[in-house]
């Protein structure tokens, strides 16, 4: 056993701040080594203590499908991937029906996702209706294009509890978005009183440990409401497909290491994108069910991400208790 790794894991369990250099060391061990299991075991302990032993299941409703001008190469809506040649926008009735279904199924928060094609004014109009249809305490989370301070305030006024907004792996290189724009959006959201969640994603085998460390430390610095890790799934024909995808074992190792860097102060740790029996054992306590469009899927109406029931089952099997009712993380404090 490598003493340096056990010193870092003990430091994290004792509430010490893990540095970028230490996170680098955690990520540098072999994913099937004894040290990797130690990291995951420690991460699970920290995660359970930080979240009171509770996990949450979120549900994302995709509102439109089609070629998105931001052309992020890992996304099935990127024109470069030629998956969705035509635009399709789900009707208000369909979006409300999917949101209510998820609420009845026990989702702790409803995410409403739209591509950068969806006009902000239309998004507000539709989501106000969804807000009125859902129970008042069910948190709504926006997953949309970048926005400014006025738009952040409008989201807050429309009843959103928060946003999911990520500085993605390769931002500005494999995406058409300047990383500074992502920072500005996250800052605008926080200024407007919206809670911001993010994961280190989408990670592929080609990504360096340095970039994973940089993105994890960004989440920590920005004091986001939840962190997490997601792997990039394969979109056939995508320029990124040649890199393949991480195995579940590699993903679980990264989930654990990043959780230790987040420590006790960020209680939520996302662990979606497959192999979730492994990732929730390694400290992940947030999973996502999906319906409608999804940037990782090549079908317009997805169940690839699974249902609320299937996510709850995974969390139950890996020893988590699940929050009943509105999300604790996305509820006003």
Binding-site ranges for ligand SF4 (CB under 6 A): 68, 70-72, 75, 77-78, 115-116, 175, 295
CA-to-CA distance for 242 and 73, rounded, in angstroms? 12
Give the largest CA-CA distance in the chain: 58
CA-to-CA distance for 282 and 127, rounded, in angstroms? 35
CA-to-CA distance for 280 and 48, rounded, in angstroms? 10
Nearest distance in Å: CB 206, ligand SF4: 18
Mapping DSSP to helix (H, G, I), strand (E, B) and coil, where does residue 12 land? helix
CA-to-CA distance for 84 and 296, rounded, in angstroms? 12
C-beta atoms surrounding 213 within 10 Å? 22
Choose between 185 and 279: whose C-beta lies nearer to ligand SF4: 185
What region does 136 belong to: left with phi over 0, alpha with psi -120 to 50, or beta?
A: alpha
Nearest distance in Å: CB 155, ligand SF4: 17
What phi, psi does 150 have (nearest 5°)?
Answer: -65, -45
Choose between 177 and 192: whose C-beta lies nearer to ligand SF4: 177
First to last CA, the chain: 42
Among residues 288, 236, 294, 237, the alpha carbon closest in space to that of 115 is found at: 294
Choose between 77 and 288: whose C-beta lies nearer to ligand SF4: 77
Give kind and range of the element (H or E) at residue 40: helix 34-50
Nearest distance in Å: CB 66, ligand SF4: 9
Choose between 118 and 320: whose C-beta lies nearer to ligand SF4: 118
CA-to-CA distance for 251 and 271, rounded, in angstroms? 9
Nearest distance in Å: CB 117, ligand SF4: 8
Choose between 138 and 175: whose C-beta lies nearer to ligand SF4: 175
DSSP output for 255-266: HHHHHHHHTTS-
Nearest distance in Å: CB 2, ligand SF4: 38
How many residues are given for the chain?
A: 333
Locate 142 and state its tokens.
């926006």
Choose between 127 and 318: whose C-beta lies nearer to ligand SF4: 127
Nearest distance in Å: CB 81, ligand SF4: 9
Choose between 50 and 199: whose C-beta lies nearer to ligand SF4: 199
Nearest distance in Å: CB 272, ligand SF4: 15
């Amino acid at each position: 056993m490598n003493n340096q790794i056990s010193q870092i894991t003990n430091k994290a369990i004792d509430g010490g701040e893990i540095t970028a250099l230490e996170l680098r060391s955690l990520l540098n061990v072999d994913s099937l080594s004894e040290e990797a299991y130690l990291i995951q075991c420690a991460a699970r302990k920290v995660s359970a203590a930080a979240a009171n032993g509770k996990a949450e299941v979120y549900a994302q409703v995709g509102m439109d499908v089609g070629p998105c001008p931001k052309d992020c190469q890992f996304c099935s809506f990127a024109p470069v991937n030629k998956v969705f040649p035509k635009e399709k926008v789900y009707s208000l009735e369909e979006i409300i029906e999917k949101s209510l279904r998820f609420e009845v199924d026990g989702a702790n928060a409803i995410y409403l996702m739209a591509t950068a094609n969806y006009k902000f004014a239309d998004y507000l109009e539709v989501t106000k209706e969804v807000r009125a249809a859902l129970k008042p305490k069910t948190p709504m989370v926006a997953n949309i294009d970048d926005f400014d301070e006025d738009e952040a305030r409008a989201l807050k006024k429309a009843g959103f509890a928060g946003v999911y907004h990520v500085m993605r792996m390769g931002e500005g290189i494999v995406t058409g978005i300047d990383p500074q724009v992502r920072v500005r959006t996250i800052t605008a959201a926080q200024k407007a009183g919206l809670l911001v969640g993010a994961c280190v994603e989408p990670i592929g085998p080609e990504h360096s440990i340095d970039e994973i460390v940089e993105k994890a430390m960004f989440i920590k610095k920005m004091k986001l409401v939840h962190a997490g890790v997601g792997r990039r799934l394969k979109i056939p024909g995508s320029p990124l497909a040649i890199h393949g995808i991480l195995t579940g074992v590699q993903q679980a190792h990264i989930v654990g290491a990043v959780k230790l860097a987040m420590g006790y102060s960020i209680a939520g740790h996302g662990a979606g994108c497959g192999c979730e029996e492994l990732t929730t054992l390694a400290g992940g306590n947030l999973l996502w069910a999906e319906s409608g469009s999804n940037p990782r899927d090549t079908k317009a109406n997805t169940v690839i991400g699974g249902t609320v029931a299937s996510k709850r089952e995974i969390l139950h099997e890996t020893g988590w208790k699940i929050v009943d009712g509105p999300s604790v993380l996305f509820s006003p404090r």
